[in-house]
Amino acid sequence: MIAVQRAWQRARRRKALISIALLLPLALAAAAVAVRLAGLNLGTAIALPCLLLVVGSATWKARQLDRRWLVRQLDNHPVVQDSSDLLFASSDALNPLQQRQRARLRDALGQTMPDLRPRWPWRNLLLCWLGGLLVIALALGWPQGGVTTTALRDPAAADAASAVATRLQSSRLQIQAPVYTGQPARTQAALDAKVPQDSALSWSLRFNGTPTTAALQLHDGSRIALKRDGEQWTAQWKATRPTLYRIVTEPALVQPRLYRLDVAPDRPPSVRVITPDRTLVLASPNQREWALQFEASDDFGVAATAELQITLAQGSGENITFREQRVPLTGSRPATLRRFARTLDLAALGAQPGNDVIAQLHVRDNHTPKAQTAQSTSLILRLPSEEQVLGEAMEGMVKKTLPAYFRSQRQIIIDAEALIKARPTLSAEEFVKRADAIGVDQRILRLRYGQFLGEEAEGAAKPPPTSDSLPTSDTPTADHDDHGDGHGDGHGDDREHAAGGHDDHDHGPPKGEGQPVFGSATDVLSEYGHTHDHAEAATLLDPQTRATLKAALDQMWSSEGELRQGRPQQALPFAYKALEFIKQVQQAERIYLARVGPELPPIDEGRRMTGKRDDLGSRTLSITAVDAPDPTIGAVWQQLGKSGNAPDLDALSAWLGRNQSRLTDPLSLAAAIEELRLTPDCSTCRATLRAQLWRALLRPSPQVQRRTAPDPMAQRYLDALEATR
């Protein structure tokens, strides 16, 4: 079986070689014709698939020599006796006689193995190679302009033929980016590119003709000369601005096209503050350090070092002094996204209470020859002074104390009911003391609601009554001494005094009263707040709401009197009525502010419906003509709309040179202009340029809109007014 396998492989290799030898000259001839007709680049592109086709065909031909073919070839040998299929059959499927025959065949083929290789088709090979070489010779040696003798060639015709044949055969563009970008040099065959600013560009071009001169024509009119070095034409240029260019030769290049060169400028770095999250930070009283963290990014990399500018502002008013220092910082992470961190020691900076510490990070990129810089936003750490710390502490004390004093009407009712239930377990003195405390809460709540009716505070709060001066039914309380002789029925004068407010306006305590009691809510407000501005809120309520609130205050007054005398059971009805009135006030549908009424001029009844227009201003609107923006571009846009008109491309190019800074994509407009300049009869190029001009047109500023045409009745009225004028 090994001998059979070797003979089979030799036969398949011979078949593949025969196929390659027959098809190779045809493929070479096709490639030569393509090189002659379309140039070396296209010829090479055609030759490669032809060679692949030859290899594929040879492989397919070799695979046709399969097992069935091998069995047929072996059966032709007299030793095999038409039993070659037994060599490839399974041993389990053969009977003893067949197995004996297969063993005999193996011994015979091992001694005398026939040659299975196909013969070489020498005649066909000779014809194929002769035909292929003939086609190659004709394709490469045939004259360009036809079969003419040298003596009869016209020089002018030769120049014209060489002009037609001038084509761009190969191109190479080498791009060397600036060193600070870190980008390696690259070479590409395409002449369109996008490069970093200040990149060094080097062109290497080859033509299949023999031009006398060649250059790169930029869209702004300037040229870059191409120098000849043997078969190569080279040029160098530093990419400082984006441009469009084309290759111009003498004689003219066949099928010239426009190439685009985009230049990406180096953007300045940007800085982002990570910590702290606010620009103004209020320091805590015992703060000793201030942590700062920044993140700087750049397209080509941020410098590894940066400067942190620290300014210390001391003093107040006009006596502020500034002390500045700069601290170098070293960044971490990659160059395109660096992080800078610093923790400031406030004591080392000399920061004192009342000072401001201002920090700002300055970074730079790697741009050469001059680096671009950027700075972060200014971060301010404000150290509170001793007065501010004391004020904040006092404010916190007030916030903690006042909610305990400003109790709601519902809470007063709950406390009174709880006191009534606990009466059997309390002594008479303790019961009266607690009832008086609830009465004090009722008084504070009454004064609080009374501010919405324009009432003033009744003065400094008295100390709670002691057991020595507890009020009785015959003795007026300390609070009632300010209003009248005892509680009385209905408290007529007292209620008028409480609801109507005081006429005097005094910030201090009334004469004859004691000093403010520490911890009293009204004393805290009168000393650290402003409690006499609530009279303006009286105008926010409508009369019905004011009356309801006035009734609630009356009920609070009665409830307070009963509680201060130790009778919470008698105070509950007044407290419940006060709560009901307060709910009605809270559910009021509207409030309004009636400060000053509108003062409209009086209407002259004698001039109404008379049609007289004396002393009236003219309604005629003065409309001035607006100059059309961009007259040049507008005229070219209109010329492009008519197929017969030739647009003024030179004027349009001059306009583009003056206004390219305000356009978002000036190269697209310049490319459309150049395409139409090269092919004036191209309708698609005209439409493309017209679309680009529409985007570049300035929109006119909004003007006065024309009034709508009046209907017939309104027109008759206007005509009548004009007739009476």
Q: What is the pLDDT of residue 558?
A: 93
- In this structure, are residues 292 and 359 in contact, taking their beta carbons and an 8 Å threshold? yes
Q: What is the pLDDT of residue 479?
A: 38
pLDDT digits (tens, 9 = 90+) for 324-337: 999 999 999 888 89
Q: What is the pLDDT of residue 86?
A: 60
Buried/exposed code over 530-566 (b: 16+ C-beta within 10 A; e: otherwise)? eeeebeeeeeebeeebbebbbbbbbbbbbbbbbbbbb
- In this structure, are residues 197 and 265 in contact, taking their beta carbons and an 8 Å threshold? yes
Would you call 207 exposed, middle or buried from its count of C-beta atoms within 10 A (0-12, 13-18, 19+)? buried
Which of these ranges, 67-81, 98-112, 395-409, has the smallest mean pLDDT? Answer: 395-409
Q: What is the gyration radius of the CA atoms in the chain, in angstroms?
A: 53
Compare 150 and 125 and report the one with higher pLDDT: 125
pLDDT at 707 over 70: yes
Cis peptide before 471 (omega within 30 of 0): no
Compare 216 and 521 and report the one with higher pLDDT: 216
Compare 725 and 540 and report the one with higher pLDDT: 725
Q: What is the pLDDT of residue 579?
A: 92
pLDDT tier at 642, thresholds 50, 70, 90 = confident
pLDDT tier at 549, thresholds 50, 70, 90 = confident
- In this structure, are residues 673 and 690 in contact, taking their beta carbons and an 8 Å threshold? no
DSSP string over 252-272: PPSS--EEEEEEE--PPPEEE
Q: How many residues does the chain have?
A: 725
C-alpha distances (whole Å) from 665 to each of 222, 692, 696 are 20, 9, 9
pLDDT digits (tens, 9 = 90+) for 389-440: 665 555 444 444 334 334 688 889 999 999 999 999 889 899 999 999 999 9
pLDDT at 539 over 60: no
Once rounded to an integer, what is the mean pLDDT over residues 242-265?
86
Of 301, 300, 299, 194, the closest CA to residue 239 belongs to 194
Looking up tokens 């000259």 gives 25
Phi and psi at residue 5, to the nearest 5°: -65, -40
Buried/exposed code over 324-340 (b: 16+ C-beta within 10 A; e: otherwise)? eeeeebebeeebeebbb
pLDDT at 542 over 50: yes
pLDDT at 239 over 70: yes
Task: Please list the alpha-helical segments (H only) found in 592-711.
Answer: 631-641, 649-659, 666-678, 683-696
Q: Return the SS3 of 175.
A: strand
Which of these ranges, 189-203, 273-287, 630-644, has the smallest mean pLDDT? Answer: 630-644
Of 545, 557, 640, 628, the closest CA to residue 590 belongs to 545
C-alpha distances (whole Å) from 303 to each of 224, 337, 367 are 36, 10, 9
Q: What is the pLDDT of residue 306?
A: 94
Q: What is the pLDDT of residue 388?
A: 63
Mean pLDDT, rounded, of the chain: 75
Cis peptide before 631 (omega within 30 of 0): no
How many other CB atoms are found less than 10 A from the CB of residue 674? Answer: 22
Compare 498 and 220 and report the one with higher pLDDT: 220
pLDDT at 699 over 80: no
Q: Return the SS3 of 691.
A: helix
Could you tell me how far CA 439 lies from the centroid of its own chain?
A: 63
- Which element (helix H / strand E) includes 337? strand 337-345
pLDDT at 522 over 60: no
pLDDT at 471 over 60: no
Tokens representing 139 are 């394709």
Compare 689 and 592 and report the one with higher pLDDT: 689
DSSP string over 180-207: GGTPPPEEES-S-EEEETTEEEEEEEEE
Once rounded to an integer, what is the mean pLDDT over residues 72-76?
67
Residues 335, 332: Cα–Cα separation, whole Å: 8
Residues 359, 313: Cα–Cα separation, whole Å: 11
Compare 82 and 206 and report the one with higher pLDDT: 206
Contact partners, residue 42, CB within 8 Å, separation at least 6: 34, 35
pLDDT tier at 286, thresholds 50, 70, 90 = confident
